């Protein structure tokens, strides 16, 4: 078992008794319960370092240890790698220490370089000098961490500006934006602005577990609400909430929040703002300065690291920004319409009786069936109204919808003027022309059975009688009255033919 090392305080006592009190080795060894060899060792080290008691007395234990026990630094002929650059390069996808060591060997092939084991040991020693938050390995373009800062900024109308903060994992590139509150709409709008600020989309977005975003903050199977999942689908990314009560899962944004509080919010503490717009205008130049500030232990700054690492690895932004959508489960009624906020929108008639999902945005209403969009309408604020697409209707309904008063009259006039006038009279009798459509269609259908000429003659007779119903014209045709009755062109009144049932005027005398 190795002997326990003497403390610097006891070594200092040895030197005090020897250099100041001038005691012998034996007396010092007896007084401090050590061997004479130990006294000789540290006395010799002090002489070799050129130390006397006057200089030793003013040194603290750390300084004395450095002067007395530190080994002389040997001049190294090895080329020292740039471990700061190596640390950043490792955040690129597919880059390994073996690859970087091979490049180091190639770059300094004409000089003395470390072998792979020494190269790795020196790199690990370098990493230990960094902050604990830097020990996490963040791949380029992989994660965007988001959160809200604790402090808020007062606004003149009595409200408070809440500060949203986002930070990229690999480069720590930071975004800040002031919102009115911390609702789901505020979270998603600010996140969309952050993606636009970055100019691309990361593979994952890592929030905390706010109720506005996460429907079920389970440690193992967290579930985002439908609108948040729709936001992620629009941008082609995924939402991965941090574990509840584990801020270390999003330590990158925790650090960014602290930096924003110190370098942005602290500088705005004496300013007064009348609106959120003014707050964001004040944040913008300070945010640029923050991203341009050089790193303390790594080369470059947040902006340069983002340009080199994260920006090339981001996915492209969609053509249009996300529009906030709400989802509602609805059932298709028998009239092939679904009701959303008091208005009815059509869907394909084959879906009658089935349950579908309505995606409602500020301007549109989309109907989804098993994840597939089956209908899309402009949103209407008319309660009790209908928005119907003809293609959604059954064939018979479409045909009925295509009829108009003008079309019916034109069809009737093709048969003859009397038929056209009869149809016109039928439509005029009804308060709404649609109420006479079925009568007109029934009347015109008689031409298929009896022919156009007979229908025209029957309508002429019906006009003389003032009978404008379908059954009147039908009865004339069934009884062949259009054939047996001579109708004069100038007749204004129909005269019944003589028969035995007519009594005559003499009967009443």
Which strand (E) or helix (H) includes residue 330? strand 326-331
Residue 490 CA to residue 487 CA, distance in Å, equals: 9
- Is 435:426 a contact under the CB 8 Å cutoff? no
Q: Which of 372, 395, 418 marks a domain boundary?
A: 395
On whether residue 428 sits in a domain, the answer given is yes
Residue 276 CA to residue 264 CA, distance in Å, equals: 15
What domain count does the chain have?
A: 5
Residue 152 CA to residue 497 CA, distance in Å, equals: 101
On whether residue 274 sits in a domain, the answer given is yes
Residue 184 CA to residue 230 CA, distance in Å, equals: 13
Residues 181, 236, single domain; the answer is yes
Residue 202's pLDDT is what? 93
Residues 452, 412, single domain; the answer is yes
Residues 228, 283, single domain; the answer is yes
Which strand (E) or helix (H) includes residue 428? helix 417-429
Residue 173 CA to residue 301 CA, distance in Å, equals: 9
Structure confidence by residue, pLDDT tens digits, 194-210: 999 999 999 888 888 77
Residue 19 CA to residue 40 CA, distance in Å, equals: 12
On whether residue 309 sits in a domain, the answer given is yes
Residues 167, 293, single domain; the answer is yes
SS3 state of residue 372? strand
Tokens 């205008």 appear where? 281
On whether residue 253 sits in a domain, the answer given is yes
Q: Distance of CA 457 to CAs 279, 445, 474, Å?
A: 84, 15, 12
- Is 34:48 a contact under the CB 8 Å cutoff? no
On whether residue 505 sits in a domain, the answer given is no
- Is 375:347 a contact under the CB 8 Å cutoff? yes
Residues 176, 226, single domain; the answer is yes
Q: How many CA atoms lie within 13 A of 117 on its CB side?
A: 0
Which strand (E) or helix (H) includes residue 276? helix 276-292
On whether residue 506 sits in a domain, the answer given is no
Residues 289, 167, single domain; the answer is yes
Q: What domain range is 335 assigned to? A: 326-395
Residues 115, 90, single domain; the answer is yes
Q: Which of 373, 395, 417 marks a domain boundary?
A: 395
Residue 86's pLDDT is what? 86
Residues 383, 455, single domain; the answer is no
On whether residue 156 sits in a domain, the answer given is yes
Nearest in space to 342 (alpha carbons), one of 325, 360, 323: 360
**pTM attached to this predicted model:** 0.54
Residue 1's pLDDT is what? 43
The DSSP secondary-structure symbol of 245 reads: T
Residues 334, 460, single domain; the answer is no
Q: Which of 347, 366, 395 marks a domain boundary?
A: 395
Residues 269, 286, single domain; the answer is yes
Give the residues of the chain that fall short of pLDDT 70. 1-4, 71-76, 93-94, 131-137, 215-223, 245-250, 395-403, 431-435, 485-509
Residues 365, 335, single domain; the answer is yes
Task: Provide the CA 308 distance to its chain's centre, in angstroms.
Answer: 25
On whether residue 492 sits in a domain, the answer given is no
Structure confidence by residue, pLDDT tens digits, 425-476: 888 887 666 667 778 888 888 998 899 899 999 999 888 888 878 888 898 8
Structure confidence by residue, pLDDT tens digits, 5-15: 778 888 888 88
Residues 147, 295, single domain; the answer is yes
């Amino acid at each position: 078992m190795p002997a326990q090392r003497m403390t610097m305080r006891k070594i200092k006592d040895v030197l005090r008794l020897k250099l100041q009190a001038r005691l012998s080795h034996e007396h010092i060894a007896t007084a401090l319960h050590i061997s004479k060899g130990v006294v000789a060792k540290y006395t010799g080290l002090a002489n070799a370092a050129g130390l006397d008691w006057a200089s030793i007395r003013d040194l603290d234990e750390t300084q004395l240890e450095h002067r007395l026990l530190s080994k002389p630094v040997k001049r190294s002929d090895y080329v020292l790698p740039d471990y700061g650059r190596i640390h950043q390069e490792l955040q690129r996808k597919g880059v390994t220490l073996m690859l970087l060591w091979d490049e180091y060997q190639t770059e300094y092939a004409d000089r003395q370089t470390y072998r792979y084991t020494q190269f790795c040991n020196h790199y690990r020693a370098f990493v230990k000098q960094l902050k604990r938050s830097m020990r996490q390995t963040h791949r380029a373009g992989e994660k965007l961490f988001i959160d809200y800062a604790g402090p808020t900024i007062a606004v003149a109308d009595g409200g408070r500006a809440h500060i949203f903060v986002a930070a990229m994992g690999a480069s720590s590139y930071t975004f800040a934006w002031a919102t009115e509150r911390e609702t789901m709409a505020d979270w998603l709008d600010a996140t969309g602005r952050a993606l636009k600020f970055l100019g691309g989309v990361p593979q994952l977005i890592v929030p905390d577990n706010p109720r506005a975003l996460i429907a079920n903050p389970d440690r193992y199977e967290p579930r985002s609400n439908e609108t948040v999942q729709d936001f992620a689908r629009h941008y082609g990314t995924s939402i991965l909430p941090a574990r509840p009560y584990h801020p270390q899962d999003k330590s990158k944004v925790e650090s960014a929040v602290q930096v924003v509080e110190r370098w942005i919010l602290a500088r705005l503490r004496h300013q007064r703002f009348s609106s959120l717009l003014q707050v964001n205008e004040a944040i913008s130049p300070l945010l640029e300065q923050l991203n341009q500030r050089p790193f303390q232990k790594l080369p470059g700054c947040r902006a340069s690291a983002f340009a080199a690492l994260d920006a090339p690895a981001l996915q492209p932004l969609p053509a249009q920004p996300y529009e906030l959508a709400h989802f509602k489960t609805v059932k298709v009624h028998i009239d092939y319409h679904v009701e959303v906020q008091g208005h009815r929108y059509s869907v394909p008639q084959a879906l009658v009786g089935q349950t579908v999902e309505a995606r409602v945005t500020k301007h549109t209403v989309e109907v989804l069936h098993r994840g597939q969009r089956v209908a899309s309408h402009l949103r209407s604020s008319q309660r009790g109204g209908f928005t119907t697409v003809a293609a959604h209707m059954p064939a018979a309904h479409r045909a009925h919808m295509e009829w108009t008063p003008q079309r019916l009259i034109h069809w009737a006039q093709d048969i003859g003027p009397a038929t056209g006038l009869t149809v016109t009279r039928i439509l005029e009798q009804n308060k709404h022309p649609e109420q006479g459509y079925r009568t007109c269609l029934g009347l015109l259908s008689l031409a298929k059975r009896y022919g156009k000429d007979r229908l025209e003659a029957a309508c002429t007779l019906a006009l003389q009688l003032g009978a404008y119903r379908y059954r009147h014209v039908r009865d004339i045709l069934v009884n062949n009255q259009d054939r047996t009755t001579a109708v004069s062109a100038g007749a204004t009144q129909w005269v019944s033919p003589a028969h035995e049932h007519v009594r005559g005027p003499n009967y009443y005398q």
